């Protein structure tokens, strides 16, 4: 069986994601689509709207055949590590190709840009350092550095999906992988668009805005019926959908009950950020006001949210570095269709990494971190929290 991979979060799954999966099948001619999906916490430093189990079910209903988990240590890291972990796992599970959505849609432009940047790496690094010394964040300095290069790039690397696509290409080359890249041009909605707009495709950001504005009915046309059903069922079952405000009291407790030196131990807390976090927390009654008080030109909103996640989950620099020094050590299956099950049977004997379907039977550091962070995620539930806490340990792979 021929397999193609996608890297996803599905927060939540919408019509644009459905289009991406259908196009992936078309351009790769694969009979099995493998989705490597972030767990309960995401790359932009946010708790997922729905649990990973609900999102797995949506992925399988929408066209994926096999869903494997991107561990917390990669799923909540910067773009380069996020991409490396994702492509490593897709390669490890036998995917012959991968397909990503981008503002460009031209995979050759990504490959040519990578080649060009390799020839100008010293010049690029010098520009980045210069712009960061002026107070810009790394992404802001990098975007400005791309424009300043002597030879113009083939790709606009100020666009978020282009940046991720570039990192996927870079990861595949670092790994010496033969996995073939494809790219699908995003339709209609931009990554950060906050309005639903015309047609039936909107960004996940716009859909989340509608959901938390108690306007979920307005967003219904932009998602498959199974997504709408999952959202309403989650509210009924657990009493809420997850966002940062659900966890703000826990974050507040962590920051105000810890000394600056204790906070400094957590991953991504650098350059005195611990002092700024404590002072901002004292002045803020909710997460949004806290972030506005915390935000500076040097740190992006996403970077600060990721730091908050690690404080919330008590993930230290030592915890993370022990895992990130090595590539992923296992393949965790979250769900599959009959096609995905057949594919796993066909490759199981050739896998070089252990296949995990039950957390309690294994003792990997990454799985221990997953169990820890999933318990924290369960604390955001309004009702039936005991059931939510047991999901990580009791839930078998979803079958659709």
Are 85 and 328 within 8 A, CB to CB?
yes
The answer to the question of whether 310 is labelled as a binding residue is no
CATH fold for the domain made of 3-103+161-226+326-399: Rossmann fold (3.40.50)
d(CA 79, CA 171): 10
Angle at 206 between CA 205 and CA 207, to 5 degrees: 90
Rounded CA separation 175/99 (Å): 17
Tell me if the bond preceding 12 is cis, omega within 30° of 0: yes
d(CA 331, CA 5): 14
Residue 219 confidence (pLDDT): 87
311 annotated binding-site participant: no
Q: Give the pLDDT confidence score for residue 363 in this predicted structure.
A: 84
Is 44 known to sit in a ligand binding site?
no
Distance in angstroms (rounded) separating the CA atoms of residues 116 and 176: 18
| Annotated binding residue 154 | no
14 is in an annotated binding site: yes
Do 2 and 32 meet the contact criterion of CB atoms below 8 Å apart?
yes
Question: Known binder of ligand: residue 27?
Answer: no
**CA atoms of 154 and 157, how far apart (whole Å):** 9
Beta bridge partners of 322: none
- Which residues neighbour 266 within 8 Å (Cβ) at sequence distance 6 or greater? 307, 310, 311, 314, 315, 316, 317
Is residue 16 marked as binding?
A: yes
- The answer to whether 72 is annotated as binding is no
Structure-token pair, residue 308: 């908050």
191 is in an annotated binding site: no
H-helix segments, the chain: 15-28, 52-62, 72-75, 79-92, 107-119, 121-133, 138-148, 160-174, 204-212, 216-219, 225-238, 244-256, 260-263, 273-282, 287-294, 301-313, 317-324, 338-347, 365-378, 385-394
What are the residues whose beta carbons fall under 8 Å from the beta carbon of 321, sequence distance 6 or more?
Answer: none
Residue 332 marked in a binding site: no
Return the number of other C-beta atoms located less than 10 Å from residue 279's C-beta: 13
- The DSSP bridge partners found for residue 37 are 8, 69
Do the annotations mark residue 249 as ligand-binding? no
Domain ranges of the chain: 3-103+161-226+326-399, 109-158, 244-321
SS (H, E, C) 142-155: HHHHHHHCCCCCCC
- 260 a known binding residue? no
Residue-by-residue pLDDT tens, the chain, 400 positions: 999 999 999 999 999 999 999 999 999 999 999 999 999 999 999 999 999 999 999 999 999 999 999 999 999 999 999 999 999 999 999 999 999 999 889 999 899 888 888 888 888 889 888 888 887 877 778 878 888 887 777 788 888 888 899 999 999 999 999 999 999 998 764 545 556 767 788 888 889 988 887 677 888 999 999 999 999 888 888 888 999 999 999 999 999 999 999 999 999 999 899 999 999 999 999 999 999 999 988 888 999 999 999 999 999 999 998 888 789 999 999 999 999 999 999 999 999 999 999 887 888 888 999 999 999 999 998 776 667 778 888 899 999 9
226 marked ligand binding residue: no
């Amino acid at each position: 069986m021929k397999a193609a991979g996608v890297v996803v979060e599905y927060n939540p799954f919408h019509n644009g994601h459905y289009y991406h999966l259908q196009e992936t099948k078309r351009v790769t001619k694969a009979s099995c689509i493998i989705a490597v999906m972030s767990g309960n916490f995401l790359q932009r430093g946010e708790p997922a709207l729905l649990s990973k189990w609900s999102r797995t079910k949506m992925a399988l209903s929408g066209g994926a055949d096999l869903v494997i988990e991107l561990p917390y240590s990669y799923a909540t890291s910067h773009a380069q590590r996020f991409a490396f972990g994702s492509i490593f796992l897709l390669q490890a599970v036998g995917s012959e190709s991968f397909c990503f959505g981008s503002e460009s849609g031209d995979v050759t432009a990504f490959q040519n840009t990578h080649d060009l940047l390799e020839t100008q790496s010293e010049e690029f690094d010098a520009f980045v350092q210069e712009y960061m010394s002026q107070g810009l964040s790394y992404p802001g300095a990098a975007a400005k550095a791309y424009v300043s290069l002597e030879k113009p790039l083939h790709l606009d690397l100020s666009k978020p999906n282009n940046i991720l696509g570039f990192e996927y290409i870079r990861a595949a080359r670092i790994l010496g992988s033969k996995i073939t890249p494809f790219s699908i041009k995003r339709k209609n909605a931009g990554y950060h668009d906050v309005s639903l707009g015309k047609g039936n495709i909107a960004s996940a950001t716009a859909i989340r805005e509608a959901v938390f504005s108690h306007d979920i009915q307005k967003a219904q046309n932009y998602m498959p019926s199974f997504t709408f059903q999952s959202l309403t069922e989650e509210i009924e079952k657990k009493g809420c959908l997850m966002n940062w405000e659900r966890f703000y009291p826990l974050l507040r407790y962590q920051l105000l009950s810890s000394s600056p030196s204790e906070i400094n131990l957590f991953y991504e807390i650098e350059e005195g950020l611990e002092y700024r976090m404590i002072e901002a927390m004292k002045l803020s009654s909710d997460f949004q006001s806290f972030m506005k008080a915390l935000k500076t030109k040097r740190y992006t909103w996403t970077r600060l949210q990721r730091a908050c996640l690690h404080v919330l989950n008590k993930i230290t620099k030592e915890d993370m570095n022990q895992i990130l020094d090595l590539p992923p050590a296992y393949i965790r299956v979250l769900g599959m269709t009959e096609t995905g099950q057949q594919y796993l049977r066909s490759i199981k004997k050739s896998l070089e990494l252990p296949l995990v379907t039950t957390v309690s039977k294994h003792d990997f550091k990454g799985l221990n971190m997953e169990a820890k962070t999933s318990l924290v995620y369960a604390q955001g539930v309004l009702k039936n929290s005991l059931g939510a806490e047991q999901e990580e340990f009791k839930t078998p792979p979803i079958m659709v």
